[in-house]
Amino acid sequence: MRLPISQSFIERNAIVLLIATLITVAIGGLVEVVPLFTIQTTVVKVPGIRPYSPLELLGRQIYVREGCYLCHSQQIRNLRDEVTRYGHPSIAAESMYDHPFQWGSKRIGPDLARVGGKYSNDWMYQHLKAPRSLVPESIMPDFAFLARNRLNTKELIAAMQTNIDLGVPYTKGDLKNAQADLAAQADPNADHSGLLLRYPKAMVVQGQGGRVTELDALVAYLQILGRMVDFTDPAVEHALAAQGGK
């Protein structure tokens, strides 16, 4: 059989070869990726998942800026050892509002996907400032300078707006209350009813009288990790069971 474009023709025309290669590879990619957009169980929607509170969101940016992901993953894989150590395997919905997600692949330190609530705020502050004061054999760097850096909140609205553009459902009310929610989460004596209404389970951190530091934001972020979904809730179990398999 004679094809309209023969092998020898493709072999001798670099551009044609390039385009043909691209098409072949693209078919492989599309077949693997496109179905995930339509299959409903790719991201099982479970109760509890919410966007990050303003303070958590900025804390997350510090996490990315300081490269914590270079030593810490945030993904409990479906492996026996990981489940017995870290808890329920991570589900896709838990990082649906993460832009970009922090799954990571390097584990010089432990996985952090469910570190929220594992320690007290006091421990988190002390550990980030001086890890070896609590875990003598730790090789994690000191992040004491974060406690001296005042948190830059000027770009908060822009950051939330960017997340909205990427599909995170912050509402107008969330934007309007953003600065107040941020201040409330960093002040144990403030009124937290609005904050907790918009961002259930948000953990209030220490703050120091109106001065919110980068460390406050980072601790607020760490303290929500893995706490949004309650895996003992029957509704969650039901949603996950519908995912298929036994």
Q: Which stretch binds other proteins (CB under 8 A): 59-67, 98-106, 117-125, 154-162?
A: 117-125
Interface ranges with ligand HEC (CB under 6 A) = 63, 66-68, 70-72, 108-110, 112, 115, 118-120, 123, 131, 135, 138-141, 143, 218, 222
Q: Which amino acid, 63?
A: Y
Is residue 2 a contact point for other proteins (CB under 8 A)? no
Is residue 8 a contact point for other proteins (CB under 8 A)? yes
User: Which of 5, 17, 135, 166 lies at the binding interface for other proteins (CB under 8 A)?
Assistant: 135
Residue 198 touches which member of ligand HEC, other proteins, none, C-beta under 5-8 Å by kind? none
Cα separation values, 142 from 35, 61, 66, 146, 168, Å: 44, 18, 11, 9, 33
Cis peptide leading into 100, omega within 30 of 0? yes
Buried b or exposed e, range 175-192, using 16+ CB within 10 angstroms: eebbeebbbbbbbeebeb
**Shortest Cβ 154–other proteins spacing (Å):** 31
CB-nearer residue toward ligand HEC: 36 or 70: 70
**Shortest Cβ 72–ligand HEC spacing (Å):** 5
Closest Cα partner for 227 from 130, 140, 113? 113
Is residue 87 a contact point for other proteins (CB under 8 A)? yes
Radius of gyration from C-alpha coordinates of the chain: 23
Is residue 83 a contact point for other proteins (CB under 8 A)? yes
Is residue 41 a contact point for other proteins (CB under 8 A)? yes
Contact residues for 8 (Cβ-Cβ < 8 A; gap 6+): none
